[in-house]
Amino acid sequence: MAYSPSSPRVVVTGLGVVTSIGHDVDSFWASLLAGRCGIGRIALFDPKDFASQIGAEVRDWDAAQHMDPKEARRNDRYTHFGFAAARQAVKDAGLDPAREDGDRVGVMIGSGIGGMWTYESQLKVLAERGPRKVSPFTIPALIGNMCSGLVAIELGARGPNFGVVSACATGTHALGEAAHAIRRGDADVMVAGGAEAAITPFAYASFCSMKAMSTRNDEPQKASRPFDKGRDGFIMGEGAGVLVLESLEHARARGARIYCELTGYAATCDAFHITQPDPDGKGLSLAMKRALASAGVAPGQIDYINAHGTSTPYNDKFETLAIKKVFGDQARRVAISSTKSMTGHLLGAAGGIESVICVKTIQTGRIAPTINLEEPDPDCDLDYVPNVAREAPVRTVLSNNLGFGGQNAAVVFRAL
């Protein structure tokens, strides 16, 4: 979407994450740079009968430490993560809700699947104990917009509020649409990102039936290996990534610390297949082109790409092709990494945490690696920052996310 030069500029002032390798931004970022992998054998349920028995779980987690214990009991695990990440981001931004006009503050925290734990547990209650024993909080807990609703209640945010649902492109779409709300003048502040908690028996059984997940159960730390010749499927992760976005004018007026600017965003569809990406990379390449155009930057100005990089045979090959289509000769000179090699694939939360990574990359001049890249696939022949973090001057970054249904999203961040 094109805006006039007088449209508000959108900046990032707050970051929050909950992941398998850190429950806050500092520990998360340190783990990424160290190449620490958060993947292990599933502990949330007994996985012995499943083809894939590994995942990137958020361990040592007590939701009651991050929200009111009563609210924690009433809400799903995905909401726990999103709410905690949003609180972190608001605190990091130094945003005082009491000083803000609630009519000018909005929330867009999406989830690709929503309250899967609630869904499964209450279906079991229905089957074993009957309809009268199903919790009255079932529907509010499982719907995908409830995290946005709870954060809005916490902040008194009465501006634009909904939960984006676009599979694994959800988090990036939420951020891009939140930026649009600011540029349209509908809000001064948006709290946006994604949250997911789909490491459940039913979700695992479903993905295993699709043969989409890695079965490298004996080597969980090496199972997610984007762009490597030996990759055999994605690894499920869980958690949340949330950013505070503001108009530049609003951020400066309150003296906020500004990380960077969100300058470009685009959303497209492959219109090709319900699960497989377009083998020509047309939809993703169009998303990248439009995001760059909306940011007003040329491909040669991108210093780093956080790739979708799921560690599936199709995605990594076709994403590489799409990058080559957009960047041409520049494709071999831009640093690219898939941090899913460490975090697993957080589905609807992927775009949220990967946007946090992009912002931290600009802030620190350090690029997180793609770990487990030991034998490059001949079809994946770009610079994926293999195995070791890299120091480099980084001003402008691009992040890609793709989702079932042919969804594509791309977002551009740039140093102010």
Question: Which CATH code of 1.10.3720.10, 3.30.360.10, 3.90.1280.10, 3.40.47.10 fits the domain covering 10-253?
Answer: 3.40.47.10
Are the beta carbons of 244 and 107 closer than 8 angstroms?
A: no
Domain covering 263-414, topology: Peroxisomal Thiolase; Chain A, domain 1 (3.40.47)
Beta strands in 197-313 (DSSP E): 239-247, 260-269, 304-306
pLDDT digits (tens, 9 = 90+) for 77-94: 999 999 999 999 999 999
pLDDT of residue 2: 54
Catalytic residue among 80, 173, 180, 345: 345
According to DSSP, the β-strands at 54-55 and 40-41 are antiparallel
Catalytic residue among 208, 308, 358, 380: 308
The DSSP-derived string for 163-192 is ---BTBTHHHHHHHHHHHHHHHTS-SEEEE
* 147 in active site: no
Using DSSP, state whether 413 is helix, strand or coil: strand
pLDDT digits (tens, 9 = 90+) for 350-365: 999 999 999 999 999 9
* 66 in active site: no
Are the beta carbons of 336 and 304 closer than 8 angstroms?
A: yes
pLDDT digits (tens, 9 = 90+) for 306-346: 999 999 999 999 999 999 999 999 999 999 999 999 999 99
C-alpha torsion 97→66→193→135, nearest 10: -110
Residues 44 and 58: their CA atoms lie apart, in Å, by 10
Catalytic residue among 147, 168, 260, 358: 168
* 173 in active site: no
Residues 262 and 274: their CA atoms lie apart, in Å, by 30
Residues 371 and 387: their CA atoms lie apart, in Å, by 4
Topology alike, domains 10-253 and 263-414: yes
**Domain layout of the chain by residue ranges:** 10-253, 263-414
Per the confidence metrics, is the pTM higher than 0.85? yes
Low-confidence stretches of the chain (pLDDT beneath 70) = 1-5
C-alpha torsion 221→226→232→238, nearest 10: 60
pLDDT of residue 337: 98
